[in-house]
């Protein structure tokens, strides 16, 4: 197929870097327009609106994160079929993954719109922020279908070795999003509905572009007579649902942290939100390798090349640790300037808390990078249970931090909760990876 990449031969690290670079740019673009949303909202609608939209972002992240996990799991199946040269099986699995992604998106949309107010009450969002958050979430939830289908088609393209098309799609989405942000807040005053609507329209545009490219690759769906809905569905569910549950659990952990954060008041909500916006961009230095390792591991597992997986993962780990060290040093130094861009001043409690929260997260960046390597490597070799269990371990550590350490550490417990979760999850994934690679290696 035109524009694809076979990762079963060639230098592993070079292939993964070549594949990961467009993913890195895609992720940075995605986070930049999220950051831009925050800057526009904070400067034109006020810091209460910014804090509310940021807090709502954690709630919106729950279904989005679960859809990402689902489509990522589907991508593993597709990459293995592609690596094995099973074109017919690839097309069939791709159709099924599109249908399942759409159905889950409709379910999440309906459920969350019905229970939105109740969720905000459970999270104890300050009263002055709740109205903003509700308006923002309704629009985001209505756009979940676009989000789910875009991530499905991105996973399918990356399974074929094409990480450039999702990048171009996100560039198109970002341009539309940023243009509409300003227009729907400053020119047409729609309040927090403006950035939410611009995000949804941008995602719809990205989906449309990706579909056009996908069709041009001649990688369409199978003929009607070739489709057996039961055939292949089991493999997709096995690989897709566990990471969906895992990422849902991780998101719930984030909501638990957010509940504690909300209890510290608006200044801390805003400070943590500002830190979170930047850390999402910073962590992309390692996150970009996740998709590359997943495709590399999946294709080579499908081709029966376990030794090649071992070599590639070892080199990816070394690269990710070096990247983490560099990013920590640079980000630590520029943290005050980054937070200032959102708060507009360096003399408020919100500014101080934002800098402190960002630096706390940076300490644990190497653990997150290792998690990004070992998790997709295991999934690519057909193991979906351990990555799911690592999500439960991450959730447990987050809850332990925010509910058990708050009396001793105060708001620091919320600042380090994510990091402690990454540390435990990375340790479990590393141990499991060694077991899996040894098992399949001995079979060769």
Position 398 confidence tier, pLDDT thresholds 50, 70, 90: confident
pLDDT of residue 346: 67
Helices (H), 186-305: 193-216, 233-263, 266-282, 284-302
Q: Is 192 in a helix, a strand, or coil?
A: coil
Out of 47-61, 63-77, 213-227, 265-279, least confident range: 213-227
Annotate 401-412 with b (16+ C-beta within 10 A) or e (fewer): bbeebbeeeebe
- Identify which of 377, 228, 302 has the alpha carbon closest to the alpha carbon of residue 77: 302
- Identify which of 330, 350, 328, 329 has the alpha carbon closest to the alpha carbon of residue 340: 350
pLDDT of residue 275: 82
Out of 217-226, 247-256, 366-375, 423-432, least confident range: 217-226
- Position 56 pLDDT exceeds 80: no
Out of 86-90, 133-137, 352-356, least confident range: 86-90
**Average pLDDT score, the chain:** 79
Yes or no: say if 62 and 248 are a contact pair by the CB < 8 Å rule.
yes
Q: Which residue has the higher pLDDT, 326 or 46?
A: 326
Interval 355-375 mean pLDDT? 90
Q: Which residue has the higher pLDDT, 85 or 430?
A: 430
Out of 6-10, 292-296, 353-357, 390-394, least confident range: 6-10
pLDDT tens digits along 322-364: 988 998 999 899 888 888 876 666 667 778 888 888 898 899 9
Q: Which residues contact 329 (CB under 8 A, 6 or more apart)?
A: none
Q: Which residue has the higher pLDDT, 332 or 403?
A: 332
Out of 31-45, 101-115, 262-276, least confident range: 31-45
Q: How far apart are CA 90 and CA 185, in angstroms?
A: 44
- Position 229 pLDDT exceeds 60: no
Please state the pTM of the whole predicted model. 0.65
pLDDT of residue 444: 47
pLDDT of residue 257: 67
- Position 424 pLDDT exceeds 70: yes
Interval 216-243 mean pLDDT? 66
Q: How far apart are CA 344 and CA 286, in angstroms?
A: 29
- Here the tokens at position 15 are 């292939």
Q: What are the residue ranges spanned by the domains of the chain?
A: 12-442
pLDDT tens digits along 178-195: 788 777 777 777 777 787
Q: How far apart are CA 419 and CA 402, in angstroms?
A: 12
Helical axes 349-363 vs 412-442, angle rounded to 10°: 20
Interval 58-75 mean pLDDT? 82
pLDDT of residue 68: 84
Q: Which residue has the higher pLDDT, 398 or 251?
A: 398
Q: Which residue has the higher pLDDT, 215 or 433?
A: 433
Yes or no: say if 272 and 414 are a contact pair by the CB < 8 Å rule.
yes
Helix (H) or strand (E) holding 75: helix 47-83
């Amino acid at each position: 197929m035109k524009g694809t990449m076979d990762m079963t031969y060639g230098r592993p690290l070079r292939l993964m870097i070549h594949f990961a670079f467009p993913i890195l740019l895609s992720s940075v673009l995605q986070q930049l327009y999220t950051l831009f949303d925050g800057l526009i909202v904070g400067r034109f609608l006020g810091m209460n609106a910014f804090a509310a939209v940021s807090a709502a972002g954690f709630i919106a992240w729950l279904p989005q994160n679960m859809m990402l996990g689902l489509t990522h799991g589907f991508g593993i199946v597709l990459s293995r079929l592609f690596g094995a040269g099973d074109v017919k099986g690839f097309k069939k699995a791709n159709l099924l993954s599109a249908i399942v992604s759409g159905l889950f998106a409709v379910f999440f949309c309906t459920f969350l719109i019905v229970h939105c107010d109740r969720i905000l009450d459970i999270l104890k969002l300050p009263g002055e922020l709740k109205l903003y958050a509700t308006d923002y979430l309704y629009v985001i939830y209505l756009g979940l279908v676009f989000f789910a289908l875009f991530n499905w088609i991105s996973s399918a393209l990356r399974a074929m070795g094409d990480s450039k098309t999702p990048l171009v799609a996100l560039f198109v989405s970002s341009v539309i999003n940023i243009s509409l942000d300003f227009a729907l807040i400053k020119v047409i005053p729609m309040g927090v509905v403006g950035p939410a609507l611009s995000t949804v329209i941008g995602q719809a545009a990205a989906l449309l572009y990706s579909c056009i490219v996908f069709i041009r690759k001649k990688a369409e769906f199978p003929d009607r007579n070739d489709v057996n809905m039961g055939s292949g569905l089991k493999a997709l569910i096995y690989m897709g649902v566990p990471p969906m549950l895992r990422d849902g659990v991780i998101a719930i952990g984030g909501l638990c942290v957010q509940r504690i954060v909300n209890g510290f008041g608006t200044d801390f909500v805003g400070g943590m939100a500002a830190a979170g916006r930047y850390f999402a961009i910073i962590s992309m230095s390692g996150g970009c390798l996740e998709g590359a390792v997943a495709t590399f591991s999946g294709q080579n597992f499908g081709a029966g090349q376990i030794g090649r997986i071992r070599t590639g993962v070892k080199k990816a780990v070394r690269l990710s640790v070096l990247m983490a060290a560099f990013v920590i040093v640079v980000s630590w130094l520029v943290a005050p300037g980054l937070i200032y861009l959102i708060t507009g001043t360096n003399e408020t409690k919100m500014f101080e808390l934002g800098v402190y929260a960002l630096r706390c997260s940076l300490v644990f960046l190497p653990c997150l990078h290792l998690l990004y390597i070992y998790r997709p490597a295991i999934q690519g070799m057909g193991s979906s249970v351990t990555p799911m269990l690592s999500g439960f371990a991450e959730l447990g550590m987050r809850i332990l931090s925010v509910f058990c350490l708050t009396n001793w550490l105060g708001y620091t417990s919320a600042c380090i909760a994510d990091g402690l979760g990454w540390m435990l999850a990375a340790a479990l994934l590393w141990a499991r990876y060694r077991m899996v690679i040894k098992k399949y290696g001995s079979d060769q």
